[in-house]
């Protein structure tokens, strides 16, 4: 069955049930599943996404602001007070949603499910998932830009401008996150490439694959079917999509797990 996001705007309940059954069948048949997750997987944990209708970047662009400017490495270096002043709240807080747990439980039950995530919230690991590649780093890990000393979020101490500072050298302590203007560590890219190459089923969840790296990774996939799960209709051309489910991550993953439990 071929389905294209563009012509799947009607999503009747019976269609959804059939789609989840189809997905369960594909997962059951697959030896290795690669799940590519983006911001849409975390919105149900209370973290706003970037590019959906109500996303952070969509809102900024509507206000005439350039989102790349606010999350650019140059700003972190040149004006850390401004950078951290605008980004307070990044760090642990949100909890995994039922979708994260369902995926982790499927892995725990013996399915080879390798996650490649664009998210920096660490929620897949917190839910217990073991095979996770964090393409853009993690807000759970921080390090000093002066001496490289690693820090945990809970250890951070801030100066009067609310800039996290190193106990040893007083350097700026930053999240181990890839900002605009920075490159992904080649070792992480290689891990992600291995996860994609090993898979014979690719699920693309909650992401429009807007960054070049994410798109190139997905395009490098030569395994079996491709399934897209997203709340909004999206286009990820030129990737050929075998099944599109227009629904939320948590709902689909829970229903998938329930279905697999009964196979
Ligand atoms: Zn330091």
User: How many domains does the structure of the chain reveal?
Assistant: 2
CATH number (domain holding residue 201): 3.40.50.1220
DSSP three-state, residue 43: helix
Measure 172 CA to ligand 1 centroid, in angstroms.
7
- Give residue 88's pLDDT: 47
Q: Is 34 annotated as a binding residue?
A: no
Q: What is the pTM of this model?
A: 0.86
Q: What is the pLDDT of residues 206-227, one digit of tens each?
A: 998 877 888 899 999 999 999 9
pLDDT tens readout for residues 41-97: 988 888 776 656 556 666 666 777 776 777 788 888 888 888 887 654 455 578 999
Q: Return mean pLDDT, the chain.
A: 87
> Would the annotation count 147 as a binding residue?
yes
144 belongs to an annotated ligand binding site? yes
Catalytic residue set:
136
CATH of the domain at 74: 3.30.1600.10
| C-alpha closest to that of 32 among 259, 222, 250 | 222
Provide the residue range defining the domain that includes 126.
1-47+95-136+184-263
78 CA from centroid of ligand 1 (Å) = 17
The better pLDDT of the pair 146, 211 is held by 146
Q: 139: which 2 tokens? A: 């807000």
**DSSP H or E run through 202:** strand 201-205
Clarify whether residues 151 and 115 are in a common domain: no
Could you tell me the distance, in angstroms and rounded to a whole number, from the CA of residue 147 to the centre of ligand 1? 4
């Amino acid at each position: 069955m071929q389905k294209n996001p563009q012509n799947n705007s009607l999503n009747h309940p019976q269609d959804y049930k059939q789609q989840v059954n189809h997905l369960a069948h594909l997962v059951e048949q697959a030896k290795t599943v690669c799940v590519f997750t983006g911001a849409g997987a975390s919105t149900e944990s209370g973290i706003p996404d970037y590019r959906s209708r109500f996303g952070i970047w969509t809102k900024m662009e509507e206000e005439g602001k350039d989102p790349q400017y606010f999350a650019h490495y140059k700003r972190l270096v040149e004006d850390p007070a401004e950078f951290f002043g605008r980004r307070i709240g990044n760090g642990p807080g949100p909890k995994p949603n039922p979708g994260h747990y369902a995926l982790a439980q499927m892995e725990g039950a013996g399915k080879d499910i390798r996650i490649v995530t664009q998210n920096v919230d660490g929620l897949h690991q917190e839910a217990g998932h073991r095979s996770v590649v964090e393409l853009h780093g993690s807000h759970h890990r921080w390090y000093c830009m002066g001496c490289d000393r690693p820090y945990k979020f809970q250890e951070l101490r801030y100066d009067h401008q609310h800039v996290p500072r190193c106990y040893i050298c007083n350097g700026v302590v930053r999240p181990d996150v890839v900002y605009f203007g920075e490159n992904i560590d080649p070792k992480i890219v290689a891990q992600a490439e291995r996860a994609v190459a090993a898979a014979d089923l690719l699920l693309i969840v909650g992401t429009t694959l807007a960054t070049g790296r994410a798109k190139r990774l997905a395009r490098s996939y030569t395994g079996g079917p491709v399934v897209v799960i997203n709340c909004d209709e999206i286009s990820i051309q030129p990737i050929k999509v075998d099944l599109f489910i227009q629904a939320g991550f948590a709902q689909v993953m829970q229903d998938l797990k329930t279905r697999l439990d009964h196979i």
